[in-house]
Structure 1
Amino acid sequence: MSTTDLGTSPLPFDEVRVPVSGGALAVLRWPAREPDAPAVLALHGITANGLSWGAVARHLAGRATLLAPDLRGRAGSAELPGPWGIAAHADDAAALAAGLGLERPVLAGHSMGAFVAALAAVRHPDSFGRLLLVDGGVGFPAPTHLSPDELMTAVIGPAMDRLSMTFPDRTAYRDFWRVHPAFAEQWSAEVDAYIQRDLTGREPELRSSCRLEAVRTDGVGLFDPDVLAAVRRLPSPATLLWAERGLMDEPQGLYDEQRLAEAALADTRVTPEPAPGTNHYTLLTGEPGAARIAGLLLAAAGRG
């Protein structure tokens, strides 16, 4: 059976709302089997939502409680107002940890969520334990002739384009994603549930729930000096798990050995680990990547 035909049903989850500045965030919760199991707070990417962590939750198999919010301006938290920005999300993460009564949970983030996680650990050092950065969180030298807005467009332009599109029904949205190069060979019921959570509105004008102003502000914020410096000031050890391939399944990923060398991580608390055979998305949603992440999370929690 090819990975395109996988029929794994998404793992059931609870959805709760947790107060933060200006309102409440929607948080997806996959509970652990045992009351003394560790907790993981997991942050998604710039145009994603909490259900992107569904495959990881399944691989955790109840050995930890996984809590994945829809960040401010996305999916179940789309109506939560600004201010937007990486610092705002970092403070929201600390508010979630406190509001949910978490004792120094493992903090994980994918893509933009990794930058949020690093900054949250710096701004709120007593709130979190070890970190797992999934294909994000570490900056690298960028072309100096481009503005932050131009840099963001160069990296996530196709994702930004989607936010202005409308779709006649959910099948059309599924068809749009199924031909995406990153997912074409690794589609699953979990991926389908994740992308369907993004939709809002009514047929025949369904659209992404991501608020464009939030995504634009957050994207530009990724190049803020304080955000980029966060990995050099981490109070706890972190692992950077990086994908071999890029956002469109292109051979050049966000990271490679040369870019990591240029990032000069030797004097930080970050340990890079490659994930061969994955792209930016399937590192989180595909079977090998999700299993690898689950193992690293359990190790970070002292349960590996």
Structure 2
Amino acid sequence: MRKLLSALLASMILVAAVLYFSPAALLTGIRLLDLQLAGLSERQQEVAGLSIHYYEGGPREAETILLIHGFAANKDNWPRFARYLTDRYRVIAIDLPGFGESSKPDASYDVGSQVERLAAFIRALGIQRLHLVGNSMGGHIGALYAARYPSQVLSLALFANAGVTSPRPSELRQRLENGQANPLLVDSAEDFQRLLDFVFVEPPALPERVKGYLAERAVASSASNRRIFQQLVERYIPLEPELPKIQAPTLLLWGDRDRLLDVSSVEVMRPLLKKPSVVIMANCGHAPMVERPEETARHYLAFLANQH
């Protein structure tokens, strides 16, 4: 009942934002509604001089699921997926340092460095064991974490993770090798629309004013994202030697129309993992938890149920 009342209040705020306020206020209303429906709250934790922002919800005494976003994304990728988890799990969705509302120090953002920052964050929250879920770059980080800290990880779910050289090169890889512009880097509103079309088969419905505002924010982050992407390339850590170190059951979940990271990566990863499960979602792009959150959550919960 409390969640329903909170959602109704959030809906009223959203309607008010649509009628009276700026695109920023409208986006805030949408986000508030998503958080209320998911039972998530905004939190912040100081870790080694960094301010880490995150969402948290669900029973505190339950097993923890930590959600890790991809490159140029943030914790707002997860609430619509987390909605189906918080009734039985403690769910945490982090803004990695360098992204979202977390600190953005002049530092290295290669996946190895981010794994150790993530480890410090987990220690600061007093979490002993947990389930990890990561998308894209976040999956690369999650897999490397599970390889470095195998005793801490109850299960690992990788949604179209980076870090593997796929037998069939993705469209993104071909573009970059041919010297074409990186579609993940946004320098204009037109670039932002192209990014949405590149990431999703069916982009999430967004009011035009909100889409324009998000495009402005993406353009403002372009220089930072460009530096981080260059570091990810220059300080690349391949997962192939790391995957055999992972002890936890691992779900490989991919959209069959992913243009950023090709689904053939699964062919490389499955034989290197001790306990792999595979789900390929038809007619889905690179971020299944955003494009089809309920279906993605259903697959993930079935994977968790099979571990008991």
- Please, what TM-score do these two structures have when normalized by structure 2? 0.71
> Residue 128 of structure 1: CA displacement?
2.4
Equivalent positions of 1:103-252 (< 5 A) are 103-137=128-162, 139-141=164-166, 157-160=182-185, 162=186, 165=187, 176=193, 180=197, 182-183=199-200, 185-188=202-205, 200=217, 206-207=220-221, 210-221=224-235, 223-225=236-238, 227-247=239-259
The sequence identity of aligned pairs, in percent, is 20
Q: Which residue of 1 aligns with 2:279?
A: 273
In structure 2, C-alpha distance between the alignment counterparts of 1:138 and 1:295, rounded to whole Å: 25
Letter in 2 for 1:232: P
The farther-off stretch of 106-115 and 177-186 is 177-186
Asked if 1 retains the 8 angstrom alpha-carbon contact of 2:159 and 2:287, the reply is no
Which structure carries more helix by proportion?
2
Q: Which residue of 1 aligns with 2:297?
A: 291
> Residue 286 of structure 1: CA displacement?
1.8
Q: 1:103 to 1:70 in 2, by over 3 A?
A: same
> Residue 159 of structure 1: CA displacement?
0.6
Q: Which residue of 2 aligns with 1:3?
A: none
Letter in 2 for 1:291: A
Asked if 1 retains the 8 angstrom alpha-carbon contact of 2:159 and 2:288, the reply is no
In angstroms, what is the RMSD of aligned CA positions? 3.9
1:37-78 deviation digits (Å, cap 9, x = unpaired): 221111111111111112211122432122111112112125
In structure 2, C-alpha distance between the alignment counterparts of 1:95 and 1:197, rounded to whole Å: 30
5+ unaligned residues in a row in structure 2: which ranges? 1-29
In structure 2, C-alpha distance between the alignment counterparts of 1:271 and 1:155, rounded to whole Å: 35
Tell me the secondary structure at the aligned position of residue 77 of structure 1. coil
> Bigger radius of gyration, 1 or 2?
2
RCO higher in structure (CA 8 A, sep ≥6): 1
> Residue 254 of structure 1: CA displacement?
1.2
Q: Which residue of 2 aligns with 1:4?
A: none
> Residue 156 of structure 1: CA displacement?
8.8
Moved beyond 4 Å, runs of 4+: 141-144, 148-156, 181-184, 192-201, 205-210
In structure 2, C-alpha distance between the alignment counterparts of 1:297 and 1:154, rounded to whole Å: 40
Tell me the secondary structure at the aligned position of residue 24 of structure 1. strand
Q: 1:10 to 1:143 in 2, by over 3 A?
A: closer
- Out of 248, 254, 273, the residue aligned to residue 262 of structure 2 is 254
